[in-house]
Amino acid sequence: MYPMISGPGGTRPRHALLAEAKAELKAKGQPRRKDSVGAMIENPQRAIAGDLLAGRCDFFSIGTNDLIHTCSRSTAATAASPHL
């Protein structure tokens, strides 16, 4: 899973690194297996890019901690407040 993806452009350099690593393994005669590529979207405002990422990754995950904090207008510092 690629961490900290904020949009489709964030997958390009990581796909290139993955392709390079696969080529190195192939050159060494390492057995090939089916890989699934995922993306972690940490920024809730970027979650709307999910439809654009769907064509570039097999799956993606949205960081729910940040999403909850954004929706409730809290932060990690205020999350412990009893009135929230």
Q: Cα–chain-centroid distance for residue 2?
A: 5
Q: Which residues of the chain have pLDDT under 70?
A: 44-45, 49, 73-84
pTM > 0.95: no
Q: pLDDT digit string (tens) for 36-58? A: 898 888 776 677 767 777 788 88
Which pLDDT does position 2 carry in this prediction? Answer: 87
Cβ atoms < 10 Å from Cβ of 25? 13
pLDDT of residue 75: 64
Tokens coding 51:
């439809």
DSSP 17-41: HHHHHHHHHHHTTPPP-----EEEE
Beta strand segments in the chain, E: 38-41, 59-62
